[in-house]
Amino acid sequence: MSHHIIEATDLHYSYPDGTVGIKEISFRITHGESVAIVGANGAGKSTLLQHLNGYLIPSRGQLRIGDYPLTKKNVKAVRRTVGMVFQDPDDQLFMPSVFDDVAFGPLNLGLPPDEVETCVTQALETVGVPHLKHRPPYKLSGGEKRAVAIASVLSMSPNILVMDEPSSELDPRARRRLIRLLKSFEHTKVIATHDLDMAVDVCERTIVLSEGRVTADGPTLELLQDEALLEKSGLEKPLQMQNCPICGDRKEKPDGNSNIIRAPRRGLQSG
């Protein structure tokens, strides 16, 4: 099964105005892997993601998605393989009702109406919102919108799921629900995120980007504990790997600076 893989070799992209988006990016993501792409703002995450759905074509190097190298000619086949969930669900949901929206992809693929009906219902059930079927999308809450946006991609049964910041703008419970949902998918997943805790929960592998390059690629748990690497890439340790500033033990660094935030504790004591 080679159609679930993503392979980048020496990927370069510069924007028309000369700004370098990404450079010398190489990685191989195999079937069923779940990979987090992390990096500070402007590290090149979005540029990289836009290559994965064929919106941008690399200026140098090659990207293979599934069975095809990415070129202008087979963009359609690539988009059929990759399901892309956008950062802002409002960009993705535009039909008058949730049902129409989730049916948009399957209808474009040319499925007969009764099959469309089944796969829409299935997709909505997978993300746990079959009751929203007839609601207009612009009246949903943030979490519901995100669920529907994911369903609208699932209904096309893609082999690879690519998500841009799926946990942004979600309340804690909706975020937890999303994490459970993502863990239940067997697709190859590529998730660009600032939510490093979600990366720890969902992705066994992490690729760290900094200034357009890959600075590290390896097991999530290992990379996200490497403080030197995180510092260099403009990131911070996931909260669940930090000691709790309020109730946990405070570890003092040898130089006397605490590696945790002290302000709340002082605030509590003086109050």
Contact residues for other proteins, defined by CB under 8 A: 53, 55, 76, 79-80, 82-84, 86, 88, 90-92, 94-97, 99-100, 103-105, 107-109, 113, 116-117, 134, 136, 138-139, 152-153, 156
> In terms of Cα–Cα distance, which of 54, 7, 47 is closest to 188?
7
Q: Which is nearer to other proteins, 68 or 86 (CB)?
A: 86
Least distance between other proteins and beta carbon 97 (Å): 6
Element (H, E) at 225: none
For the CA atoms of 230, 235, 241, 246, the dihedral, rounded to the nearest 10 degrees, stands at: 130
Q: Minimum Å distance from CB 152 to other proteins? A: 7
* Minimum distance of other proteins from residue 110's CB (angstroms): 8
Q: Which is nearer to other proteins, 100 or 195 (CB)?
A: 100
- Residue with smaller CB distance to other proteins, 103 or 214: 103
What are the phi and psi torsion angles at 204 (to 5°)?
Answer: -80, -15
> 32 near 205, Cβ under 8 Å?
no
Q: Which of residues 134 and 183 has its CB atom nearest to other proteins in the complex?
A: 134
Q: Which residues contact 5 (CB under 8 A, 6 or more apart)?
A: 28, 29, 30, 31, 64, 65, 66, 188
Quick one: 76 or 262, whose CB is closer to other proteins?
Answer: 76
CB of 63 to other proteins, least distance (A): 16
Distance CA(150)–CA(44), nearest Å, equals 23
Closest approach, Cβ 138 to other proteins, in A, equals 6
- Phi, psi (5° rounding) for residue 170? -110, 145
User: Shortest distance, CB of residue 130 to other proteins, whole angstroms?
Assistant: 17
**Among candidate residues 155, 150, 222, the one with its CA nearest the CA of residue 182:** 150
Please, which residue, 84 or 200, has the CB nearer to other proteins? Answer: 84
Paired tokens of 191: 């998730």
